[in-house]
Structure 1
C-alpha cells in the first residue's frame, strides 16, 4: 500500500511539473502595429496591465520613454493611444489581473509603469532583490524573464521559472 501511495505521489509530481496554466489572466495583445512599434524594443505589455490614465501618461512622454526617444508618427500615435485606452485594465475587469491592478491603485494616483502598481509590488514582495536584479532578469519590468507564458496573457504561478533559481515554489 505504501508503494502505491509513493508511486502516486511521483506520478502527480511529474504531471505538476509539466502542467501549464491555460486561464488567461489579462487579454493578450492583438494589435500588429503595437507589436511592431513597442515589441521591437521590449515585451509587448498587455494594455490590461494598466489603467487608461497611466497609458495616456506613458504615451504623452514617448520622447523620454524610460531613457529612450520612442516618438511615433502622429497617425501611429493616435492608433496606439486608442488601442491602449480601449483595452486598458478598467475596460477588461473580467480578467483577474486587470481587475486586481485597478483595485490596487488609490484614487487619484496614476502609476508610471506596470511594475510600480501596488498590485505588482505586492505580488513580487516575496522575491529577494538579487532574484529581480540579476542580469538575466534586470527588473520587474522584464515579465518574460520569469513568466514563461506572459506573451499569452497568462501570469500564473505555475508558469514562473526564475533564471538561475528555477520554478517558483510558493
Structure 2
C-alpha cells in the first residue's frame, strides 16, 4: 500500500457516508455550469442522465445542443458517475428511496428530494428572489459545489440557517 492509501480510504468512507462524489469534469462544469448549477451525476440514475443527454435540443425549454465530441464526453462522465453506479451515501439513498417508481429527468422530482424539502415553505424558495427555485442548490447549500448537502450547512438567503 502506498503512502496515500489511508487518505484514499478516509475520503472513500467520508463520501460513502455523506454527500455526492464531487470529482467534477472541467468540461462538464464549463458546458453545463455555464447555464445552471453543474449538478453532480450522483443526484440522478443513469437512465435519467441518458434521457437528459438525448434531449438536448429541448433541454427544459432551451436548446443545449453540444458538439458531438463534447456531448459524448459529458454523457460518459454522467453515466459513469450516476446514482446506482457510485459508492456514496446520498446517491445510495436517492436510489433506495425511489423504490420501483421510475425516475424523472428532474432532480427536484425524485422521491428523496421531495422528502428532504417537503417542510420548506414557498416563501423561502420560490418567493425568495435570492433563491427562486428548488433547482438552485447552491443558493442554500453553501458546499453544494463540493457535493455536500448536509442539513447542518443550509443557510437560506434572507432567512438564515435552516433547522427542521
TM-score, normalised on structure 2? 0.85
1:111-130 mapped onto 2 (5 Å cutoff) = 111-130=104-123
CA deviations 1:79-122 (Å, max 9, x no partner) are 11011000001011x31110111112242512121111000000
Q: 2:39 aligns with which of 23, 42, 45?
A: 45
Which residue is equivalent to 1:167? 161
Aligned residue-pair number: 148
Which 4+ stretches in 1 moved above 6 angstroms? none
Structure 2 SS opposite 1:44: coil
Q: 1:143 aligns with which of 137, 140, 161?
A: 137
| Structure 2: stretches of 5+ with no match in the other structure | 1-13
1:19-168 mapped onto 2 (5 Å cutoff) = 24-92=18-86, 94-107=87-100, 109-133=102-126, 134-168=128-162
Q: Residues of 2 paired with 1:88 and 1:151: CA distance?
A: 16
Please report how far the alpha carbon of residue 169 of structure 1 lies from its aligned counterpart in structure 2 after TM superposition.
1.6
| Structure 1: stretches of 5+ with no match in the other structure | 1-21
Greater CA deviation, 134-143 or 145-154? 134-143
Q: Residues of 2 paired with 1:26 and 1:39: CA distance?
A: 17
Cα RMSD of the aligned pairs, angstroms, is 1.4
Which one has a bigger Cα radius of gyration? 1
